[in-house]
Structure 1
């Protein structure tokens, strides 16, 4: 993999050329910034920017004014290679709060097409209806220990309005949900995003995480996607590196609350 070329392709496809996440959302390009304006309950934020030391502060102030006028919290999704090099400091000085840093990791779908079945007694089921979403949310809450309402709303909305852009999975041990994950597909790009992979503590270390990646890779490859993308935490980065994913840059959410 040519890391620089793939990162440039990612910036062009997924950030500068971003698509709305739902039918009631929109993407706007203004003043060197690409921003996503979410629909009802959707995500608001800056996806990409091309700034320098002369115009960065004015661009930041303009986005604060815009989203404050809408009365919503928003995120500036900062990547480690973004310009200017002190953009993170400028965001903090303007009143943003930095969330934990993650690593943008990319893997080829073809590299993940391996025989990686879940452990004995566990099966992976594709989620297509409200009952399946509840199983997925239950697994997510066991894995991460927090309320899964956001996941419920997101998956239900996508399955209803744009079912071809999401693949939702739950791993069941008998009838018990023990792990879940989703994949977000952006038509016209070469990247499929892997999100939310989490396993209940007592089921970790048995290969479920790997099985969920391989399962999604097969679907992505069948639909013509070349790369898998993950915003990896410090816990998942070593696992993904062992599976052949490459770390291309860092990504840090900077949140602003009006």
Structure 2
């Protein structure tokens, strides 16, 4: 008699199980720029302090020969769920033809315990602001690398959901020195700024809102726990072992 491979017997009693982990993206840090609500003074007052962070976060303003100015203005049109909230408005950028990549805003985020980091933000330009914004990042707090460039083609309304996925960028995950910069730059391949919809001017404004970093928590590996067989499974196991023994005896007899 010819017997099928051993899996016919093994399938009768082998049962395995494995633990599985699922991760969901969560907010690591966020700036909505709304601040405290004060009805006596017209509502939300605006703030540069992050409204949420898992481990800590920071903001800084980048200037050159002149000082970048900021104020809190309406967030209407952004993705902020608070309809009468605030956005961060920046102005007094570099004179035409000078200091590309110098002026802007920096956001630092401690990503310790998190990976698959994604950065997103809403941006609104005035007509004379630089149409081109560059995203830079650092993983050591000193050296800055280019991640992406964004071109704004309309003025006076937010472009929402601009983003960059850092998931595959080495050193971003689980790092207390990670930071990004959004800086105003020359039009690519030129030595001058291009305005968003008209001639560039240093007084052009760039407005930011809903700056957010998301990621997934780094979880410890799960060691699978062997399943404990039920009584019926033991019976199948014994039957399978008996079948294997019978096969061996018949082969010796032949």
Q: TM-score, normalised by structure 2?
A: 0.23
TM (norm. structure 1) is 0.23
Q: Which has the higher helix share?
A: 1
